[in-house]
């Protein structure tokens, strides 16, 4: 019994020990969990912007309990003890600072905050995360120096601090921390200074990627880098490194695949010259995996060695441009059969181009420009099937252009300018149906321009045949280049007249025909080119008067008509106001007010011209007195009894306006009945709060819209609306506002007669009743929004009486035959106080005529549901900022394709609030849908740059959000909005929009 009792007691004692230990561990675990939670919440507190709500789960659940940290977004825990081992919040658009409290997460293995907007310094406390293996702060806005404390992270394998604003020197201890675990180091695209602090005792033996490009590093490439024998990617370009090329270093890197040393100072301080270049290529022979080699933009001297052809057969790109390499191009380079890019431009190369180059059948881009190459262009180029770019410009090449070039079906750019080529332009070049640039300028090419080449419709950048010996007429086929941006045929011997058919080149922005033998007048059809920016027809034999389009063009920025035989008066308007004598000199028959130009003399009968108006005035005075006085009495009687354009007390302005009443057409009620088939329902095109709109045709075939007001309900309100709309339409004149034809009024009938808009309202296009196969394009929508903004800016800032529209929406925007937008329906408009002529003050926008306001709630919430500014619901009077809000809603409606009322009733929030929940990082589906619904224009067979059009949609969304801010004082003025939309309209309306920046620079190079 005693033995059994002892065993029971021992068992109880062991169980007590186990319980105590488990309880202690649970207490420790609870304490650790609490510390981790507090550390993460401290980090969250430093985040000032979380547009994707990534950290929304970091907190308590709905029942008031803490959500376990392992369930928080971006957090990963280990499976055994639920310790936080990974924080991955990359690409969440977080903005704020990085909290030092993260250093308390002692089990952390991965910390990734890349692609965000974190600012401030990197916390030095992170050096205590001794278990950390991956640290990435790539693409943020971090400042200051790299903390030396990061060198304590001996387990670190991956370090990426690239694309920040870091400065100072790279800490030596970071690269020499006694650990050889580094696999990836990226400190690129910062402002780091000093030398690369890599010493011989530093053993980065596991390093495979080292990226230090775009910094301010100086000195030599450290020899200790040769210890990194596993290196695959070495990028040191765009620094200030000098000395010899690192031959001994790269010779010990057999796994090297990508070597970028461009834009440094290698070779500047070296006297080894050619020996250095040969030694470097020799060291690369052992790099059997090399794929890309770039060391352009240095000062390397020497010949290309023959054994360059012994480099890796995997090599795809070689870029040695902008050095001092001389001598011939070795024929052995053709051994690099997989090469796709070969750039030897801007060197001192000489000799002929080896025909063996045709063996490199995978070549896509060849740059040999700006050298001293001579001889003929090898016809073997025609045997490289994938060649898309051939640049042999600015050399000393001679002979004809080979016909074999026409075999290059993928050729997009052919640049042969600045040589000594002779012969004629091969008509077979017309077979290069993908050609976008053809530049044969500054050669000795003769003959005529072949019609086969002139009708190359694929040219979308430019055609440059200038400074040659071409003759004959400008071919009419040139008019088929409907997408070309620039044509330069200057400095030739072309004769005949300028073909009017050039107006078919509708994308043309630059036209240069100077220094030829062209005759006849300058065709007025050139004025039909909608985007023409520069026109140079100087030094020809052109005659006649200057066409009117030269002064009326809104796009023309450069003009040179000098040294011709033009005659007449040079206008003092349009582009001529900015011209100097250089642009018009050499035309003896021209006169004008340009400084240095001969003044126009008055004719012999100028005294008679002065006397004639005086005689006419003396003769007409008795007639006016006899007939005018009775008419004046009748006009006063009409004003006294008029109830259409105001009450019986007529102001001075109204009296002046009523004197112009005779300008409005007289249309009787009977004529309106006939025009609308008795206001038949088949002619009904719209209905609103105050009545109906009918379409009709007058007896002279004038198409009209008749807005008939319903006088059977709310008669007083209807009358006020009618009078107000008459006042607005009568006092305002703008191309983007509807113009009144006349009014028709009887005791029981009141109507406005307006011009019928053939393309209906914007509402009909956004929401077609029966569907539509032809949606408005993005360019059309930008133009429409710009038109509306212009019209509204006029109402707010420049109208004789400042007008608040109060009901801006798609159904109140009409489209004429040219798709120009006109704002209409001023039935609930208000007149606002003016801050002075031509001025605008945001506080002076209250209602001037309170008698015209609606009573009670209708007066406060003026407008349509979904478009009403929020301040109207709080009793604020109508203001111009309310119109700005409505315009912002309009833009967001166009982009999202959602009616504001749909969002309001189905989503429970306003349209602007709904868009804000997607801005900025969840807009991609909205943008893509907008581009699908309203496609950008297709300009050629090539793919357009969709990123440009995404930016256009994004700009419209941002403008819509700015206009719909809750605080009226924070919204821009309509004038600012019109300026923004005008810039966007100019951007999308130019064919240059479809080009990359590099392509635009190529075109501008001509002018």
Q: Which tens digit of pLDDT belongs to each residue from 383-400? A: 999 999 999 999 999 999
Greater model confidence, 995 or 631? 995
Neighbours of 638 (CB within 10 A): 12
Please give the full DSSP string across 503-564, using - where no structure is assigned. Answer: GG-TT--EEE--SSEEEEPPPGGGGG-TT--EEE--SSEEEEEPPTHHHH-SS--EEE--SS
Q: Which of 352-356, 610-614, 746-750 has the lowest mean pLDDT?
A: 610-614
User: What pLDDT score was predicted for residue 851?
Assistant: 30
φ, ψ at 420 (rounded to 5°): -125, 35
Helix 946-963 vs helix 778-793: crossing angle, to nearest 10: 30
CA trace torsion 923, 927, 928, 929 (10° rounding): 100
User: What pLDDT score was predicted for residue 830?
Assistant: 84
User: What pLDDT score was predicted for residue 667?
Assistant: 81
> Residue 368 and residue 419: Cα distance in Å, rounded?
12
Q: For residue 857, what are its two tokens?
A: 């709630």
User: What pLDDT score was predicted for residue 463?
Assistant: 94
* pLDDT at residue 857 greater than cutoff 60: no
User: What pLDDT score was predicted for residue 644?
Assistant: 33
Q: Could you tell me the CA-to-CA distances from 468 to 446, 491, 492 in Å, in that order?
A: 7, 7, 5
Q: Round the average pLDDT of the chain to a whole number and report it.
A: 83
881 sits in which H/E element: helix 880-896
Provide CB contacts within 8 A for 578, sequence distance 6+: none
- Give 172-176 contacts, CB < 8 A, sequence gap 24+: 172/197, 172/199, 173/148, 174/146, 174/148, 174/150, 175/202, 175/204, 176/201, 176/202
Q: How confident is the model at residue 259 (pLDDT cuts 50, 70, 90)?
A: very high
Highest mean pLDDT among 396-410, 668-682, 934-948: 396-410
Neighbours of 486 (CB within 10 A): 25
Q: Are 268 and 291 in contact (CB under 8 A)?
A: no
**Where does 762-1007 sit in CATH, by number?**
1.10.510.10
Highest mean pLDDT among 48-62, 266-280, 936-950, 961-975: 961-975
Q: Are 198 and 249 in contact (CB under 8 A)?
A: no
3-state helix, strand, coil in the chain (%, to 5): 35, 20, 45
Q: Could you tell me the CA-to-CA distances from 982 to 466, 553, 793, 976 in Å, in that order?
A: 35, 17, 12, 10
Strands (DSSP E) contained in 361-485 are: 365-367, 372-376, 389-391, 396-399, 413-415, 420-421, 437-439, 446-447, 462-464, 469-473
Strands (DSSP E) contained in 17-149 are: 47-49, 75-77, 84-88, 95-97, 110-112, 117-120, 134-136, 141-144
Q: For residues 102-131, give the mean pLDDT.
A: 94
Neighbours of 539 (CB within 10 A): 19
* pLDDT at residue 727 greater than cutoff 70: yes
Q: Which of 504-518, 731-745, 888-902, 928-942 has the lowest mean pLDDT?
A: 928-942
Active site residues: 807
Interior angle at CA 751, CA 750 and CA 756, nearest 5: 175
Q: How confident is the model at residue 890 (pLDDT cuts 50, 70, 90)?
A: very high
Can you tell me which residue has the tokens 């005035």?
Answer: 617
* pLDDT at residue 935 greater than cutoff 80: yes
User: What pLDDT score was predicted for residue 339?
Assistant: 95
> Residue 134 and residue 169: Cα distance in Å, rounded?
22
Q: Are β-strands 684-687 and 691-697 bridged in parallel, bridged antiparallel, or unpaired?
A: antiparallel
Q: Are β-strands 134-136 and 158-160 bridged in parallel, bridged antiparallel, or unpaired?
A: parallel
| Alpha-helical runs (H) found in 572-714 | 606-641, 652-658, 669-675
User: What pLDDT score was predicted for residue 803?
Assistant: 87
Q: In the Cβ-directed half-sphere of 729, how many Cα atoms lie within 13 Å?
A: 27
**Where does 28-194 sit in CATH, by number?**
3.80.10.10
Q: How confident is the model at residue 41 (pLDDT cuts 50, 70, 90)?
A: very high
Q: For residues 265-279, give the mean pLDDT.
A: 68
Q: Which of 488-502, 537-551, 840-854, 883-897 has the lowest mean pLDDT?
A: 840-854
Q: In the Cβ-directed half-sphere of 978, how many Cα atoms lie within 13 Å?
A: 17
User: What pLDDT score was predicted for residue 694?
Assistant: 87
User: What pLDDT score was predicted for residue 636?
Assistant: 41
Q: How confident is the model at residue 519 (pLDDT cuts 50, 70, 90)?
A: very high
User: What pLDDT score was predicted for residue 776?
Assistant: 86
Percent of the chain residues past pLDDT 70, beyond the cut: 81
Please give the full DSSP string across 214-275, using - where no structure is assigned. Answer: SSEEEEPPPGGGGG-TT--EEE--SSEEEES--HHHHTT-TT--EEE--SSEETSS---THH
User: What pLDDT score was predicted for residue 966?
Assistant: 86
> Residue 432 and residue 600: Cα distance in Å, rounded?
52
Q: Sign of the C-alpha dihedral, residues 38, 43, 49, 52?
A: negative
Helix 778-793 vs helix 974-988: crossing angle, to nearest 10: 150
Q: Which of 180-194, 420-434, 513-527, 726-740 has the lowest mean pLDDT?
A: 726-740
> Residue 540 and residue 512: Cα distance in Å, rounded?
12
**CA proximity to 466, closest of 396, 418, 498:** 418
* pLDDT at residue 23 greater than cutoff 60: no
Sequence length of the chain is: 1007
Strands (DSSP E) contained in 731-820 are: 742-746, 749-755, 802-804, 813-815
Highest mean pLDDT among 236-240, 696-700, 902-906, 939-943: 236-240
> Residue 431 and residue 453: Cα distance in Å, rounded?
8
Binding residues for ATP: 707
> Residue 866 and residue 876: Cα distance in Å, rounded?
17
User: What pLDDT score was predicted for residue 389?
Assistant: 94
Q: Are 422 and 446 in contact (CB under 8 A)?
A: yes
Burial class (CB in 10 A: 0-12, 13-18, 19+), 821: buried
Neighbours of 662 (CB within 10 A): 10
User: What pLDDT score was predicted for residue 375?
Assistant: 96
Q: For residue 128, what are its two tokens?
A: 């205590």
Tell me which fold the domain 660-756 belongs to.
Phosphorylase Kinase; domain 1 (3.30.200)
Burial class (CB in 10 A: 0-12, 13-18, 19+), 853: middle
Q: Are 386 and 364 in contact (CB under 8 A)?
A: yes
**CA proximity to 755, closest of 814, 812, 803:** 814
- State pLDDT tens for residues 148-194: 999 999 999 999 999 999 999 999 989 887 666 899 999 999 999 99
Q: For residue 141, what are its two tokens?
A: 């806005």
> Which residues sit opposite 398 in a β-bridge?
376, 420
Query: Can you give the three-state secondary structure of 135-191, one letter per residue?
Result: EECCCCEEEECCCHHHHHCCCCCEEECCCCEEEEECCHHHHCCCCCCCCEEECCCCE
Neighbours of 899 (CB within 10 A): 18
Q: Could you tell me the CA-to-CA distances from 451 to 40, 403, 431, 455, 472 in Å, in that order?
A: 72, 16, 12, 6, 12
Provide CB contacts within 8 A for 116, sequence distance 6+: 89, 90, 91, 92, 93, 94, 95, 139, 140
Interior angle at CA 897, CA 891 and CA 902, nearest 5: 100
The ranges assigned to domains in the chain are 28-194, 660-756, 762-1007
Greater model confidence, 85 or 663? 85
Q: How confident is the model at residue 760 (pLDDT cuts 50, 70, 90)?
A: confident
Strands (DSSP E) contained in 317-449 are: 317-319, 324-327, 341-343, 348-351, 365-367, 372-376, 389-391, 396-399, 413-415, 420-421, 437-439, 446-447
929 sits in which H/E element: helix 924-933
Greater model confidence, 877 or 560? 560
Can you tell me which residue has the tokens 């590093």?
Answer: 217
Provide CB contacts within 8 A for 716, sequence distance 6+: none
pTM higher than 0.75 for the full model? no
Q: How confident is the model at residue 758 (pLDDT cuts 50, 70, 90)?
A: confident
> Residue 695 and residue 674: Cα distance in Å, rounded?
11
> Residue 746 and residue 724: Cα distance in Å, rounded?
17
Q: For residues 56-77, give the mean pLDDT.
A: 82
User: What pLDDT score was predicted for residue 606?
Assistant: 41
Q: For residues 428-441, give the mean pLDDT.
A: 92
Q: Which of 178-192, 354-368, 526-540, 744-758 has the lowest mean pLDDT?
A: 744-758
Q: Sign of the C-alpha dihedral, residues 377, 378, 383, 384?
A: negative
φ, ψ at 775 (rounded to 5°): -70, 155
């Amino acid at each position: 019994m005693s033995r059994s009792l002892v065993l029971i007691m021992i068992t109880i004692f062991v169980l007590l020990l186990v319980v105590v230990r488990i309880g202690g561990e649970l207490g420790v675990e609870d304490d650790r969990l609490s510390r981790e939670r507090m550390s993460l919440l401290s980090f969250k507190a430093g985040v000032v912007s979380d547009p994707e709500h990534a950290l929304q789960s970091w907190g308590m659940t709905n029942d008031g309990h803490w959500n376990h940290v392992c369930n928080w977004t971006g957090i990963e825990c280990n499976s055994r003890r639920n310790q936080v081992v990974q924080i991955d919040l990359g690409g969440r658009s977080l903005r704020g600072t990085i909290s030092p409290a993260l250093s308390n997460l002692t089990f952390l293995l991965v910390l990734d905050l890349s692609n965000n907007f974190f600012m401030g310094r990197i916390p030095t406390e992170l050096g205590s995360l001794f278990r950390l293996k991956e640290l990435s702060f790539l693409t943020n806005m971090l400042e200051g120096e790299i903390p030396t404390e990061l060198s304590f992270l001996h387990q670190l394998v991956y370090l990426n601090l690239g694309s920040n604003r870091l400065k100072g020197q790279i800490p030596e201890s970071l690269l020499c921390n006694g650990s050889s675990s580094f696999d990836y180091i990226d400190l690129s695209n910062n402002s780091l200074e000093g030398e690369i602090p890599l010493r011989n005792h530093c053993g980065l033996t596991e390093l495979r990627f080292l990226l230090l490009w775009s910094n301010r590093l100086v000195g030599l490439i450290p020899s200790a880098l040769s210890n990194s024998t596993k290196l695959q990617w070495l990028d040191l370009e765009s620094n200030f490194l000098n000395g010899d090329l690192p031959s001994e270093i790269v010779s010990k890197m057999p796994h090297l695949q990508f070597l970028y040393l461009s834009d440094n100072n290698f070779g500047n301080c070296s006297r080894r010259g050619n020996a250095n270049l040969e030694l470097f290529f020799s060291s690369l022979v052992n790099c059997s995996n090399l794929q890309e080699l770039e060391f352009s933009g240095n000062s390397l001297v020497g010949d290309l060695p023959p054994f360059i052809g012994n480099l890796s057969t995997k090599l795809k790109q070689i870029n040695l441009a902008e050095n001092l390499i001389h001598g011939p191009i070795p024929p052995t380079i053709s051994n690099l059969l997989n090469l796709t890019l070969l750039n030897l431009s801007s060197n001192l190369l000489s000799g002929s181009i080896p025909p063996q180059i045709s063996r490199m059948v995978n070549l896509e881009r060849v740059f040999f420009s700006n050298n001293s190459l001579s001889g003929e262009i090898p016809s073997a180029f025609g045997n490289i099937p994938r060649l898309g770019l051939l640049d042999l410009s600015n050399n000393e090449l001679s002979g004809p252009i080979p016909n074999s070039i026409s075999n290059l079906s993928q050729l997009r750019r052919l640049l042969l300018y600045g040589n000594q080529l002779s012969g004629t332009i091969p008509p077979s070049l017309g077979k290069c149906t993908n050609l976008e640039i053809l530049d044969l300028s500054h050669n000795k090419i003769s003959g005529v321009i072949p019609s086969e080449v002139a009708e190359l419709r694929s040219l979308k950048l430019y055609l440059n045949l200038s400074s040659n010996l071409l003759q004959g007429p400008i071919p009419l086929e040139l008019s088929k280049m409907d997408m070309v941006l620039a044509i330069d045929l200057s400095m030739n011997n072309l004769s005949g007249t300028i073909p009017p058919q050039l107006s078919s080149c509708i994308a043309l922005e630059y036209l240069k025909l100077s220094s030829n033998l062209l005759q006849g007048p300058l065709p007025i059809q050139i004025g039909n080119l909608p985007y023409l920016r520069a026109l140079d027809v100087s030094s020809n034999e052109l005659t006649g008067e200057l066409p009117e389009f030269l002064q009326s063009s809104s796009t023309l920025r450069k003009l040179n008509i000098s040294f011709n035989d033009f005659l007449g008066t040079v206008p003092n308007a349009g582009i001529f106001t900015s011209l100097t004598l250089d642009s018009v000199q050499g035309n003896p028959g021209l006169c004008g007010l340009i400084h240095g130009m001969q003044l126009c003399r008055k004719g012999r009968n100028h005294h008679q011209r002065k006397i004639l108006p005086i005689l006419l005035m003396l003769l007409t005075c008795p007639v006016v007195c006899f007939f005018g006085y009775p008419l004046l009495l009748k006009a006063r009687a009409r004003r006294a009894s008029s109830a259409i354009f105001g009450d019986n007390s007529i102001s001075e302005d109204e009296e002046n306006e009523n004197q112009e009443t005779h300008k409005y057409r007289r249309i009787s009620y009977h004529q309106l009945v006939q025009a609308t088939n008795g206001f038949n329902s088949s002619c009904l095109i719209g209905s609103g709060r105050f009545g109906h709109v009918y379409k009709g045709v007058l007896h002279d075939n004038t198409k009209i819209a008749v807005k008939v007001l319903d006088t059977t309900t709310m008669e007083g309100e209807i009358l006020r609306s009618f009078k107000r709309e008459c006042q607005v339409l009568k006092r305002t004149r703008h191309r983007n506002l509807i113009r009144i034809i006349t009014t028709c009024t009887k005791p029981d009938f009141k109507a406005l007669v307006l011009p019928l808009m053939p393309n209906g309202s914007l509402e009909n296009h956004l929401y077609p009743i029966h569907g539509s196969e032809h949606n408005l394009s993005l360019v059309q929508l930008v133009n429409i929004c710009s038109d509306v903004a212009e019209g509204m800016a006029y109402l707010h800032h420049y109208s004789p009486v400042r007008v608040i529209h109060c009901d801006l929406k798609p159904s109140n925007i009409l489209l004429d035959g040219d798709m120009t937008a006109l704002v209409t329906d001023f039935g609930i408009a208000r007149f606002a106080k003016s801050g002075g002529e031509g001025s605008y003050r945001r506080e002076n926008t209250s209602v001037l005529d309170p008698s015209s306001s609606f009573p009670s709630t209708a007066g406060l919430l003026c407008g349509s549901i979904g478009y009403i500014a929020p301040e109207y619901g709080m009793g604020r009077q109508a203001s111009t900022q309310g119109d700005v809000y409505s315009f912002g809603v309009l833009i967001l409606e166009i982009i999202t394709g959602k009616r504001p009322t749909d969002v309001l009733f189905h989503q429970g929030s306003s349209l602007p609030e709904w868009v804000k929940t997607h801005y900025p990082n969840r807009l991609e589906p909205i943008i893509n849908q907008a581009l699908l619904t309203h496609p950008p224009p297709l300009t050629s067979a090539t793919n357009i740059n969709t990123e440009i059009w995404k930016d256009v949609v994004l700009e419209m969304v941002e403008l819509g959000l700015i206009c719909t801010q809750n605080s009226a004082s924070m919204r821009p003025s309509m004038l600012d909005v019109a300026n923004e939309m005008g810039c966007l309209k100019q951007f999308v309306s130019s064919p240059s929009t479809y080009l990359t920046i590099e392509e635009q620079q190529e075109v501008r190079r001509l002018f």
